């Protein structure tokens, strides 16, 4: 049973959030709130979500959690990725943020507090978006690895065999737009409020940077989620190049057998550990 203290705390948090949301909408024109708000939310989420993986490289105790320990991050590679993400701000993300505004206007997507979805509804909406994105990305990703398409669509993203967080969106513009279509489909179907759309932006960025982190930490919450694609799962795709095409859930790879090389790799690793333990 909810205590009086927890109930009051919940109400205070809700009132604070309501006041902040209302002030945001009243302080600026809708165009600025939606356009620049979306852009700033994307950038802040991306760089903040990339920060833990960036910091790990300077902590000696974290080295044991590095998946490909023979391929450490370099300043040159990280700077190369940062420059490309900064370039994408002007060539992709500003135009896409403008597109979000026109979508909000065209679809008459509500932004007011009274239309705000309940927390459980927002979670279900984001889960639905993940399902759409996962299916779209698996098949598009697998198609991009076809020899006739790979050099033109996906080769840039595989410049690094060992991924790291800020490398998550190191890709050509065509690839970003193709994968972004799956993001849009989920938005059209499930996001019925500006808050839901923003929440989906943050959730997808955090998930994407996480699976590209290059570290398999024991406190990874995805370990508790059935069929979740962890950083170790996606890291194998970069290391092996083939297989493990899904970036969110593993069931498509399991269904089509594109995780067999990963399973064999893990089996060999377990056998090696057993032999070393016996010796």
* Tens of pLDDT, residues 216-254: 999 999 889 999 999 999 999 999 999 999 989 999 999
Residue 271 has pLDDT above 90, yes or no: no
Strand, helix or coil at 243? Answer: coil
Closest CA to 161 of 61, 108, 234: 234
Which residues, 6 or more positions from 17, have their beta carbon under 8 angstroms from its beta carbon?
Answer: none
CA atoms lying within 13 Å on the CB side of residue 197? 23
Cα distances (angstroms) measured from residue 241 to each of 114, 142, 235, 263: 48, 11, 10, 15
| C-beta neighbour count of 166 within 10 angstroms | 26
How many whole angstroms separate alpha carbon 224 and alpha carbon 221?
6
Q: How confident is the model at residue 279 (pLDDT cuts 50, 70, 90)?
A: low
Query: Please, which pLDDT band fits residue 277 given cuts at 50, 70 and 90?
Result: low
Q: Which of 9-18, 99-108, 127-136, 181-190 has the lowest mean pLDDT?
A: 9-18
Residue 49: partners with Cβ closer than 8 Å, 6 or more residues away: 165, 205, 206, 209, 210
Eight-class DSSP state of 169:
G
Domain boundaries, the chain: 21-278
**What does the DSSP 8-state code read for residue 69?**
T
Residues 6+ apart with CB under 8 A from 216: 65, 67, 230, 231, 232, 235
The dihedral of CA 235, 63, 75, 204: what is its sign? Answer: positive
Q: Which two tokens stand for residue 233?
A: 């799962």
pLDDT of residue 12: 73
- 156 — phi, psi (to 5°)? -60, -40
Query: How high does pLDDT run on average in the chain?
Result: 91
Helix (H) or strand (E) holding 171: none
Q: What is the mean pLDDT of residues 132-147?
A: 96
Q: How far apart are CA 17 and CA 113, in angstroms?
A: 10
User: What is the distance between the alpha carbons of residues 53 and 164, in angstroms, rounded to a whole number?
Assistant: 7
Residue 4 has pLDDT above 70, yes or no: no
pLDDT at 7 > cutoff 60: no
Mean pLDDT along residues 148-174? 94
144: Cβ contacts below 8 Å, ≥ 6 apart: 150, 153, 154, 175, 178
């Amino acid at each position: 049973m909810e205590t009086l203290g927890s109930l009051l705390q919940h109400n205070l948090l809700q009132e604070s959030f309501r006041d902040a949301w209302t002030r945001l909408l009243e302080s600026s024109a809708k165009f600025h709130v939606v356009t620049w708000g979306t852009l700033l939310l994307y950038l802040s989420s991306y760089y903040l979500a990339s920060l833990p993986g960036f910091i790990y490289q300077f902590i000696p105790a974290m080295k044991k959690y590095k998946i490909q320990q023979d391929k450490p991050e370099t300043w040159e590679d990280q700077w190369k990725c940062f420059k490309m993400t900064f370039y994408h701000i002007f060539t992709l993300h500003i135009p896409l943020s403008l597109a979000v505004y026109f979508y909000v206007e065209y679809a008459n997507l509500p932004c007011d507090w009274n239309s705000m979805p309940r927390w459980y509804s927002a979670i279900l909406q984001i889960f639905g978006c993940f399902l759409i994105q996962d299916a779209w990305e698996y098949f598009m990703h697998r198609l991009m690895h076809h020899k006739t398409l790979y050099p033109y669509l996906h080769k840039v993203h595989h410049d690094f065999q060992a991924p790291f967080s800020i490398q998550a969106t190191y890709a050509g513009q065509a690839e970003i737009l193709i994968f972004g279509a799956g993001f849009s489909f989920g938005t059209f179907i499930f996001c019925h409020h500006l808050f839901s759309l923003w929440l989906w932006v943050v959730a997808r960025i955090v998930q994407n940077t996480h699976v590209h982190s290059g570290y398999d930490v024991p406190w990874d919450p995805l370990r508790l989620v059935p069929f979740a694609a962890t950083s170790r799962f996606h890291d194998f795709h970069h290391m092996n190049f083939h297989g493990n095409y899904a970036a969110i859930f593993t069931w498509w790879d399991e269904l089509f057998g594109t995780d067999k090389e990963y399973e064999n790799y893990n089996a060999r690793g377990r056998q090696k550990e057993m032999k070393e333990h016996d010796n």
